Amino acid sequence: MATLVAIGAGIAALAGIGAGIGIGIATGKAVEAIARQPEAEGKINKSLLVGAALAEATAVYGFVIALLVIFVL
């Protein structure tokens, strides 16, 4: 039973990988966009921050689920 809990927690924690990849791609695209249109930097940064916060929220949710699986089950 403990082994299955550990496996489940590990799978739930994998959400952080997706968030990291997503934030990395978004940041790269934002830098490219700013390089092409420096005058739009403010709008691009706002959109990037909102997107990064939403992507990071999924990682936090996965981490919380992993902790719940470990400590509740």
* 42-66 pLDDT tens trace: 999 999 999 999 888 988 998 888 8
Model confidence, pTM: 0.74
Is residue 14 over pLDDT 80?
Answer: yes
One-letter amino acid identity for 34? I
Tokens of 27: 């940041």
Q: What is the pLDDT of residue 16?
A: 83
- CA dist 16 and 61 (Å) reads 9
Rg, Å, the chain Cα set: 17
For 37-67, letters b (16+ CB in 10 Å) and e give: eeeeeeebeeebeebbeebeeebeebbebbe
